Structure formats: structure tokens, C-alpha cells
């Protein structure tokens, strides 16, 4: 399954104009010259509210539990498969706080970076 996922991500990237969310994309595509690697973060309170809204939850504790479990699963997966800490900023071209910037400004920052980035040579 891992090899299939990696292959699909690489093929999508070769086609251009694609957004890969998670799945180790920053590591799989680390040598792709046109790739822009972005880590989106937000404060816990902001994330909890977003999870509550997305899953129609009434309990902050339930939302926090889901967030913690998801974070632990992804952190463990990336560490086990790629040997990296997914939260380390050096793995990304940009780290943006969606809670502080808002979604619109986050998108604007990413689009600006796409227009002006210097691909790996």
C-alpha cells in the first residue's frame, strides 16, 4: 500500500498543478524541483473549534481527543516510514499559522510563494 501511495503522489506531481495533503508528500517529493512544501499549523484552541465544527461535535474534550490521536498517528507514521519528525520546520519551505492568518491570507501567501519560488536545481 505504501509503494502504491508513493507512486500515485509522484505521478500526480509529474503531471503538475496538484496539491498533496499529508501522506508524506514533503518527503516523497523532496527532490521534485517544482514542489512547494507547506506546513499548516494553528493553536490548539483554534484546531479544537475547527474539529468541533467539521464533525458537529459539542464536546471540546472529544475534539481534543480526536486531534491528539490524529496527530500521534501521523507523527508516528512519518517517523516510521521516512525517519523524520513531521513537525520540524526544516522539512518545509513555509510554515503558516492558519489560526492567525485566516484561510484567505494563508491561500494568498501560498499563491505568492508559488509565483516567486526558485525551483531546486
Give the separation between CA 35 and CA 25, rounded to whole angstroms. Answer: 10
DSSP symbol at 57: -
Q: DSSP 3-state assignment of 32? A: coil
Q: Could you tell me if 39 and 95 are in contact, meaning their C-beta atoms sit under 8 angstroms apart?
A: yes
C-alpha cell recorded at residue 45: 484552541
User: What are the pLDDT digits (tens) for 39-88?
Assistant: 999 999 999 999 999 999 999 999 999 999 999 999 999 999 998 999 99
Helix and strand numbers, DSSP H then E, in the chain: 5, 2
What's the fold here for domain 2-103? Rossmann fold (3.40.50)
Residue that the C-alpha cell 527532490 belongs to: 31
Domain boundaries, the chain: 2-103
Report the predicted TM-score, pTM, of the whole model to 2 decimal places. 0.83
Instruction: Return the bridge partners of 35, or none.
Output: none
Q: DSSP 3-state assignment of 108? A: helix
What local confidence, expressed as pLDDT, does residue 98 receive?
96
Amino acid at each position: 500500500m505504501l509503494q502504491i501511495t508513493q507512486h500515485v503522489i509522484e505521478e500526480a506531481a509529474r503531471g503538475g498543478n496538484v496539491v498533496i495533503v499529508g501522506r508524506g508528500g514533503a518527503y516523497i517529493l523532496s527532490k521534485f524541483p517544482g514542489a512547494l512544501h507547506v506546513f499548516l499549523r494553528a493553536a490548539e484552541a483554534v484546531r479544537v473549534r475547527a474539529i468541533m465544527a467539521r464533525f458537529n461535535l459539542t464536546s471540546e474534550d472529544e475534539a481534543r481527543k480526536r486531534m491528539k490521536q490524529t496527530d500521534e498517528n501521523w507523527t508516528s507514521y512519518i517517523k516510521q516510514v521516512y525517519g523524520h519528525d513531521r513537525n520540524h520546520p526544516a522539512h518545509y519551505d513555509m510554515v503558516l499559522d492558519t489560526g492567525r492568518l485566516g484561510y484567505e491570507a494563508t491561500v494568498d501567501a501560498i499563491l505568492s510563494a508559488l509565483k516567486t519560488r526558485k525551483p531546486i536545481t
